[in-house]
Structure 1
Amino acid sequence: MSRIIAGAAGGLRLQSVPGQGTRPTTDRVKESLFARLEAWGMLHDARVLDLFAGSGALGCEAASRGAAAVTLVERHAPAARVCRANAAVVHRALGRDDVVAVHQGTVAGYLAEPGEGPWDLVLADPPYPLGEAELTATLASLAGRLRPGGVVVVERSSRSPEPAWPEGLRRFEHKRHGETATWFAETDATPSPGAPR
């Protein structure tokens, strides 16, 4: 079982997805990721999109730490059910039920819907078998749909190549944690988080 590390729901346990179709983010990676995001001021009142959500642990962590609205996108029905259960845990802790929404369907289908976005933060933690071409297409769908100062975080195997960033997004940071690598990108016209604006 994973847990929410910090914030209003800190310490609460989250359900895990049954079976072996997902790869949960470890607490160590999650703590490092969210420490960076908080230092950059990326979470308070943010609109967050959690793609390939699995159990929804990353999006729920963002909600616990002050995000205003989080959307979890997960295509597999058992995982989407876990997302809804974990969203309910966060809602009880926050005393409101309108922070975390769950969309069951493919990432490509969700991003093709008109009117979605813009987002302050996009968390993309695709299953490792996802092909690089599909990841590139996902990133291309996000380009131009971030708010000013918005950030995309991609979590992959440390053995995977750097994502192919589409026009409109540029990588500004990379962090490796053993078998896991996180890549941070922003809109081309946006100064890096933490840089003088």
Structure 2
Amino acid sequence: MTRIVAGVLGGRTIAVPGKGTRPTSDRVREAIFSRLEHLDVLDGARVLDLYAGSGALGLEAASRGAVSVTLVDSARAATDVARRNVAALGLTGVRVTTETAERYAASLAGAGARPAVPGTTTAALDLVFLDPPYDLDGAALAAVLTHLAAPGVLADGAVVVVERSTRTPEPAWPAGLVPFARKDYGETAVYYAEPAGPEASDSVGA
């Protein structure tokens, strides 16, 4: 079991899959969300949680003010647990999808040029979490990031958060994403990036 750290659901516990996932620790989630609150991207945010596992990151965002959250994982066992967590927490703005991260991100890239329809995932995203298995090939992660950087996928001022092992090379960032911070917590490295262009921050720091 793990727990929601803060927000309207703070202290509530959520189930995690029995195997095949690596839930982000409470300590690391608390640090990530402290930075995100400082960046003021949570309230009213449209959030995508890729490689979601139990959905802990996306559910934390919902607890802290996100208006829509999509949890995506390729493992049916993980999405079954995520759906049970959503139901147990009584959340109505969270949906769960069983799909690979690359296919889902590619679908967003293909839809990004079309007008956003309220209540659908074609609306530009304010916050994206990627917490893939540490052994995920760097090229596979780069492909997902490239789809996310496609026009229309990310809103101006959006933040992309990537968790990797400190022993894994830094993600290969596509031209449309600019990394602006990295923080290490034991074996976990957390990277923060944002869309390239006039809205990109050059003052947040590490």
Deviation at 1:193, TM superposition (A): 8.3
Provide the residue aligned with 1:160 in structure 2: 168
* TM-score, with structure 2 as normaliser: 0.88
Cα distance in 2, alignment partners of residues 62 and 124 from structure 1: 14
Secondary structure (helix, strand or coil) at the match of 1:183 reads strand
Q: Does 1:135 align with 2:135?
A: no
Partner of residue 196 from structure 2, selected from 183, 188, 192 = 188
Deviation at 1:79, TM superposition (A): 0.4
Distance 1:31 1:193, change over 3 A: farther
Query: Which amino acid letter does the alignment assign opposite residue 9 of structure 2?
Result: A
Q: Does 1:53 align with 2:47?
A: no
Report how many residues are paired.
189
Secondary structure (helix, strand or coil) at the match of 1:58 reads helix
Partner of residue 100 from structure 1, selected from 91, 94, 97 = 94
1:1-197 alignment to 2 at 5 Å? 1-19=1-19, 21-90=20-89, 92=90, 97-113=91-107, 114-115=110-111, 116-143=122-149, 144=151, 145-189=153-197, 190-192=199-201
Query: Which amino acid letter does the alignment assign opposite residue 155 of structure 2?
Result: R
Cα distance in 2, alignment partners of residues 169 and 74 from structure 1: 23
Q: Deviations over 1:82-132 (max 9, x none)?
A: 110111233x2xxxx431100111112212224334100000000111100
Query: Which amino acid letter does the alignment assign opposite residue 106 of structure 1?
Result: T
Whether the 8 Å contact between 2:41 and 2:126 is mirrored in structure 1 is: yes
Whether the 8 Å contact between 2:49 and 2:71 is mirrored in structure 1 is: yes
Cα distance in 2, alignment partners of residues 193 and 147 from structure 1: 17
* TM-score, with structure 1 as normaliser: 0.92
Cα distance in 1, alignment partners of residues 170 and 59 from structure 2: 26
Whether the 8 Å contact between 2:106 and 2:144 is mirrored in structure 1 is: no
Cα distance in 1, alignment partners of residues 57 and 83 from structure 2: 13
Query: Which amino acid letter does the alignment assign opposite residue 165 of structure 1?
Result: W
- Any runs of at least 4 consecutive aligned residues in structure 1 with deviations exceeding 6 A, and if so which? none
| Percentage of matched positions with identical amino acids | 51
Cα distance in 2, alignment partners of residues 125 and 167 from structure 1: 21
* Runs of 5+ consecutive residues of structure 2 not aligned to the other structure: 112-121
Cα distance in 2, alignment partners of residues 112 and 4 from structure 1: 30
Cα distance in 1, alignment partners of residues 161 and 202 from structure 2: 13
Whether the 8 Å contact between 1:40 and 1:193 is mirrored in structure 2 is: no
